Amino acid sequence: MTEDTSVWGIADVSSGKGKSDENFPVGSVLISKQLRPHVHAYYAYARVIDDIADSTALSPTDKIARLDAMEEVLHGQRQPIDRADALSAARLRTSLLQTGVPFETATDLLIAFRDDSRGHVYESWEDLLHYCRYSANPVGRYLICLHGESPTAFGPSDALCTSLQILNHMQDCAGDLAQLHRCYIPAGLMRAAGATQDDLLAGRLSPAMRRVFNTMLDGVDALNRQAAALPAHVHDRRFRMECAAIVTLAERLTLRLRREDPLAGRVALRRTDAMHAAFAALRTWR
């Protein structure tokens, strides 16, 4: 195994983001205490590779080299150095070997983050769905496999994870463009509505950009309808409650983005949304 450490460089890739920056619970109390450390290991790894792709201190070439090194550590092909980012991959490798969860739930994420590092342009809704297949859907599949649930849950889980990812892109579209020079709003949808990327930096939604957002939210509504079936596919009671709560939060955030302007300020979930999610979770208790 190679022990070359030069690929890691000296750049700090931490974004400063944490669980408090997420819309949805990460390793919440509804996840069993026994499984929570594995969820935290997966989240820590995902946070690191996301930070690498978002780093302003690394070139695209350096980002991809660092992501490739993380994959080599995951597969046991490279020894991790004593740094948090490399060690997160080593810890997840140990977790995956212990639990038997497929390594693809971790390595598929790297496909999306390599695209982010290259500055990939999303032309169509289908392009965005393809990105979410790798950036978001592996997270749900990881949790399903970790809980020993049936693969029949993959379909509605994929729909939920894709919905959450697109909602997050819509919340953060102005910051992504201004700070990372990255745009997840499909270019074809903007052209069809008579909008441009400049509209995302205007501080308020133009009528044209509102049409784009409404079209995207129509697609998210369809995803949410598919995701609504997820709790029925989950046998573990606590995980089923978690799924029901997150499905409801996705639906509530979709409604908020219909009514509010994410360019004027971050559209965020509120206490009333959390209450609706709690009621939804309790209804699955059986």
Domain termination site, one of 98, 120, 142: 120
> What domain range includes position 225?
121-286
Encoded tokens for 86 = 């490399």
Residues 275 and 152 in one domain: yes
Residue 111 shares a structural domain with residue 177: no
**Which residue, 75, 99, 120, sits at the end of a domain?**
120
> What local confidence, expressed as pLDDT, does residue 239 receive?
94
- Look at residue 7 and tell me if it is in a domain: no
Instruction: State residue 28's pLDDT score.
Output: 63
Bridge partner residues of 78 (DSSP): 2
Q: Looking at the structure, do residues 114 and 216 belong to the same domain, yes or no?
A: no
* pLDDT tens-place values along the chain, 286 residues long: 445 555 655 455 655 555 445 555 555 667 888 999 999 999 999 999 999 999 999 999 999 999 999 999 999 998 877 677 789 999 999 999 999 999 999 999 999 999 999 988 899 999 999 999 999 999 999 999 999 999 999 999 999 999 999 999 999 999 999 999 999 999 999 999 999 999 999 999 999 999 999 999 999 999 999 999 999 999 999 999 999 999 999 999 999 999 999 999 999 999 999 999 999 999 987 6
CA distance 92 to 203: 40
What per-residue string of b and e applies to 200-239 under the rule 16 or more CB within 10 Å gives b?
beeeebbeebbbbbeebbebbeebbebbbbbbebbebebb
> Side chain identity at 80, as an amino acid letter?
P
263 and 253 inside one domain: yes
Does 237 lie in the same domain as 157?
yes
pTM (predicted TM-score): 0.90
Are 93 and 140 found together in one domain? no
**DSSP character string of 85-149:** HHHHHHHHHHHHHHH---THHHHHHHHHHHHHHHT----SHHHHHHHHHHHTHHHHHHHHHHTT-
Select from 279, 160, 274 the least CA-distant residue to 221: 160
Does 223 fall in a domain? yes
Q: Is residue 19 part of a domain?
A: no
**Residue 62 placed within a domain:** yes
For residues 19-53, one letter each, b for 16 or more C-beta atoms within 10 angstroms of the residue's C-beta and e for the rest, the string is eeeebbbbbeebbeeebeebbbbbbbbbbbbbbbb
Q: Identify the CATH number of the domain in which residue 249 sits.
A: 1.10.600.10
Domain boundary among 120, 153, 168: 120
Residue 156 located in a structural domain: yes
pLDDT number for residue 2 = 45
* Domain shared by 116 and 126, yes or no: no
Let me know whether 169 and 224 are in one domain: yes
Asked if 114 and 248 sit in the same domain, the reply is: no
Residues 126 and 248 in one domain: yes
Shared-domain flag, residues 159 and 57: no
Among 245, 190, 251, CA closest to 216: 190
Contact residues for 191 (Cβ-Cβ < 8 A; gap 6+): none
Whole-angstrom distance, CA of residue 84 vs CA of residue 15: 13
Residue 268 within a domain: yes
**DSSP 8-state symbol, 250:** H
Q: Is residue 20 part of a domain?
A: no
d(CA 188, CA 19): 33
In a domain, 15, yes or no: no
Same domain for 110 and 147, yes or no, is no
Residue 6 pLDDT: 54
Model pLDDT, residue 113: 96
Q: What is the tally of structural domains in the chain?
A: 2
Distance CA 261, CA 263 (A): 5
